[in-house]
Amino acid sequence: MSSQTLETLPVRLGFWRKAKAYFDLTKPRVIELLLIATVPTMILAQRGIPDPWLVIATVFGGALSAGSANSFNCYIDRDIDKIMGRTKGRPLVTGDLSPKEAYLFAWALGVLSVVWLAVIVNPLAAALSLAAILFYVFVYTLLLKRRTPQNIVWGGAAGAMPVLIGWAAVTGELNAAAWVLFIIVFLWTPPHYWPLSLRYKAEYSDAGVPMLPVVRNNQTVGVQIVLYAWALVASTLLLIPLGEMGIIYTATALVTGALFLMESHRLNAEARKGEIKNPMRLFHGSITYLTVLFVAIALDPLFFFDLF
C-alpha cells in the first residue's frame, strides 16, 4: 500500500481520546460556570438544603442540557472555529470528531436532558431545559451571532436559564425572586464576555463575527460595560426584598458589587485613554464576582440574620 493511500485512511482514535473529544465538545468549563448558579438557587428556593437526590438529578439534567446546546454550537460554528486561535483546538477542528458524530451526540444529549428532567424532576424544569437549548441554537448561534453585535446580550438569556431550572426543580413554579436571579445572570453576561472579545478582537474580525469590540471603538465598548455593570449591581440589590435576603447576602452584594464596578470603570478609563492594557482582568474578575455572589445566595438562607 502506497504512502499516499495510507495518508487518506481515517485515523482510528483510542477510546480515551475519543471520549475526551466528546467531553470537550460540550465546553465543560462553560457548563461548570453555569451550574455554579444552580445549586445556590435551589437552596434559596428551598430556604434550606433540598433533597440531595433532587440536587444531583437537576444538576445532571442541566449539564446535559448545556452540553447539548454547546455541542450544537460547535457543530454549527466549525467553519469559524478553525479560523480563531482560541477555538482551533476544538474536536471538530482537529478531526477527533466528525460533524455527523457531533450532530448525533448533540441530539442525544438534548433528548436525554428533556426526558430526564421531565421524568425525574418535573415538567417545568424539562420545558425550561428545552427552551434553553432551542434559544441558544436557533436564536443565538444561527440568528444573532454572525449578524449583530447584540449577539452576546441576548445570548445571555440561554446562559441564565439554569437558575430558572433550579428554582423550578424545587418549587414547581417561578416567582419574582427566580426572575431576579435570571436577570442577574443575564445582565452579567455582557460585561463578562466583552472583555474576552476585546482580547480576541482580531480573531473575531477574521472570522467575520461582529462582536461589539469588532464593530465599535474601545470607548463605546467601555461605556457599554460600565452601563451593564451598574444595571447588574442594581439587580443584585433587587433580590434583597424580593428574595427576603439577610445580612450575609446583602453585605456580599454590596462589597463585591462595588469591586466589580471599580474594575469596570478602570477598563472604561483605559478605553478613554485609547489603550486597554489587560481586558482579561475584568473577564476573570467577573467569574469570581458571580461565584462569590452565588455562594452568598446559598449561605444566606442557611444562616439567616434578619436585617430588620
Place 14 in a pLDDT band, splitting at 50, 70 and 90. Answer: confident
Q: Which amino acid is at 145?
A: K
Using pLDDT thresholds of 50, 70 and 90, give the confidence band for residue 305. low
- The 10s digit of each residue's pLDDT in 167-205 is 999 999 999 999 999 999 999 999 999 999 999 999 999
| Domain residue ranges in the chain | 18-149, 175-308
pTM of the model: 0.92
Q: What is the dihedral of CA 113, 119, 121, 127, to 10 degrees?
A: 60
Would you identify the CATH topology of the domain 18-149? Tetracycline Repressor; domain 2 (1.10.357)
* b/e per residue 114-124 (b: at least 16 CB within 10 A): bebbbebbbeb
The rounded distance, in Å, linking the Cα atoms of 291 and 258 is 15
CA distance 35 to 159: 10
Is residue 76 within 8 A of residue 142, CB to CB? The reply is yes
Between 9 and 42, the more confident residue is 42
pLDDT of residue 6: 38
The whole-number average pLDDT for the span 275-299 is 95
Interval 229-245 mean pLDDT: 97
**pLDDT of res. 11:** 54
> Which one, of 202, 188, 195, 123, lies nearest residue 155 by Cα?
188
Q: Taking the chain, what is the end-to-end CA distance rounded to the nearest angstrom?
A: 83
* 177 residue type, one letter: A
Which of 106, 158, 107, 151 minimizes the C-alpha distance to 128? 158
pLDDT of residue 30: 80
Side-chain-side CA neighbours of 261 within 13 Å: the count stands at: 13
Handedness of CA 105, 106, 108, 109 (dihedral sign): positive
Confidence of residue 8 (pLDDT cuts 50, 70, 90): very low
pLDDT > 90: what percent of the chain? 87
Other C-beta atoms closer than 10 Å to the C-beta of 19 total: 11
Nearest to 239 by CA among 251, 229, 252, 249: 249
Helix and strand numbers (H, E) in the chain are: 17, 0
When pLDDT is averaged across residues 113-133 and rounded to a whole number, the result is: 97
Q: In this model, does residue 7 exceed pLDDT 60?
A: no
| CATH 1.20.120.350 assigned to 175-308 | no
Query: Distance (Å, rounded) from C-alpha 140 to C-alpha 121?
Result: 27
* 175-308 and 18-149 share a CATH fold: no
Distance of CA 193 to the CA centre of its chain: 10
Q: 160 falls in which pLDDT band (50, 70, 90)?
A: very high
Q: Give which of 131, 115, 153, 147 is closest to 232, Cα–Cα.
A: 153
**pLDDT score of 307 more than 70:** no
Q: Which residue has the cell 449583530?
A: 148
pLDDT digit string (tens) for 46-58?
Answer: 999 999 999 999 9
pLDDT digits (tens, 9 = 90+) for 257-272: 999 999 999 999 999 9
